[in-house]
Amino acid sequence: MSEFFIVLGLFVALAWTIIRTVLMFLRVDVQEDAPTAHADPISTYVDENYGSHFVDDPVTANRDLRRL
């Protein structure tokens, strides 16, 4: 009886791997058509509502430790 469960488990693992691979390829095709989202929602909000014409502060923009 235990051999049956081992074979069944291997079959389920093989089917899961094949289905996951097929779905992964389908999602890659779908994601190429979708617009890319910004990683930082605050920066996106500021750019959309206030524009990106603000100049970065040179002290905070340059984070080199030698200039401290």
Residue spans per domain, the chain: 1-35
CB contact at 8 A, 38 and 44: yes
Overall pTM > 0.75 = no
Q: Which pLDDT score, from 0 to 100, does residue 66 have?
A: 55
Confidence of residue 44 (pLDDT cuts 50, 70, 90): confident
At 14-43, the pLDDT tens digits run 999 999 999 888 876 655 555 555 577 887
Confidence of residue 68 (pLDDT cuts 50, 70, 90): low
Q: Which pLDDT score, from 0 to 100, does residue 47 have?
A: 78
Query: CA-CA distance, 17 to 15, in Å (whole number)?
Result: 5
